Copies of this chain bind each other. A is one copy, B any other.
Amino acid sequence: MLVTGTGETVPAIRPDYPEPLWIQAVNLIRGEIDSGVLKPGMRLPPERELCTQLNISRVTLRKALGKLVDDRVLSSSHGRGWYVSSASVGKEWPNSLESFSETAARMALTASSTVLRAQSAPATLDEAEELSIAPGTPLFHLERIRRLNDVPIAIDATRLPLSLAPDLVDTDFSEASLYERLAAAGVQPARADAIIEARGADAAIAKALGVEVAAPVLMMRQLVLDADDRPLFVSSITYAGDRYRLRTYFSRSRS
């Protein structure tokens, strides 16, 4: 609808907000791309025209376009216009701190878990330092075998202060999503520092994942932080080498 611009379609943006206008604009443009109306490489209508079509101001539109640049969906060229990014990758990964369940959903697979451990224990000195808490603080240990369509993919060992969400001890994590439960408790992960390495599987890992001992596994240790860079929890995920790939993207400092 954006590209044809016959001029008479209903704007589809409601000023009496359920959501901010610029987010509605983001979703609307994303929709045009996902539905194939806007194809990779195509030029968008000029900003001023989009403004009248969407019935929003140029500042608001540009906030939406900026978000889509961050997500690598669009790019701009000064005197020329806005273009849909050619990368076929573009639609998949905004920039992932994606939970296992979210990944599964995106790939249209069924995620399930076997809980190996789900109990509270006092924080050791090392754990306390890593999480900026007092030693002895109750720490919830959650260890799960993560499966996609029942195939074991990874072992996830997460440790987090019980104070973040005290009801975790009563949760059945063979079905529940940790990130969902945390969200319900008002915990909002924003970033994670990660260290990634390749190792050979030891006996315990080999058994849990159903691979040979010494088979290559990918191990990622994460420290997850909130928007103010306060540590939330640590997580150590071991992936069967031949069953998973991490995807990410890097960028150099923007001006």
The answer to whether A197 and B245 touch (CB under 8 A), given A85-B228, A86-B228, A228-B86, is yes
Residue of B nearest to A26 (CB): B255
CB pair B94 A253 closer than 8 Å: yes
Query: Using Cβ atoms and an 8 Å threshold, which residues of chain B touch A215?
Result: 200
Other-chain residue from B89, B95, B217 in contact with A251 (beta carbon distance below 8 A): B95
Query: Using Cβ atoms and an 8 Å threshold, which residues of chain B touch A132?
Result: 86
The docked-state distance in angstroms from the alpha carbon of A132 to that of B96 is 24
Count of A residues near B, CB < 8 Å? 56
Kindly identify, within residues 147 to 199 of chain A, every residue whose CB is under 8 Å from any CB belonging to chain B. 189-199
Interface 0/1 of A126-145, CB less than 8 Å to B = 00000010000000000000
Query: Using Cβ atoms and an 8 Å threshold, which residues of chain B touch A10?
Result: none
The docked-state distance in angstroms from the alpha carbon of A83 to that of B226 is 14
CB pair B190 A229 closer than 8 Å: no
User: A252 in the interface, Cβ–Cβ < 8 Å?
Assistant: yes
Other-chain residue from B59, B71, B244 in contact with A197 (beta carbon distance below 8 A): B244
Number of this chain's copies in the complex: 2
Nearest chain B CB to A207 CB, angstrom units: 18
The answer to whether A247 and B195 touch (CB under 8 A), given A85-B228, A90-B229, A229-B75, is yes
The answer to whether A241 and B197 touch (CB under 8 A), given A85-B229, A86-B230, A229-B86, is yes
CB pair B241 A199 closer than 8 Å: yes
User: A77 in the interface, Cβ–Cβ < 8 Å?
Assistant: yes
CB pair A194 B247 closer than 8 Å: yes
Other-chain residue from B90, B94, B194 in contact with A254 (beta carbon distance below 8 A): B94
The docked-state distance in angstroms from the alpha carbon of A252 to that of B55 is 30
CB pair B198 A241 closer than 8 Å: yes
Other-chain residue from B89, B218, B244 in contact with A218 (beta carbon distance below 8 A): B218
User: A250 in the interface, Cβ–Cβ < 8 Å?
Assistant: yes
Query: Using Cβ atoms and an 8 Å threshold, which residues of chain B touch A146?
Result: none
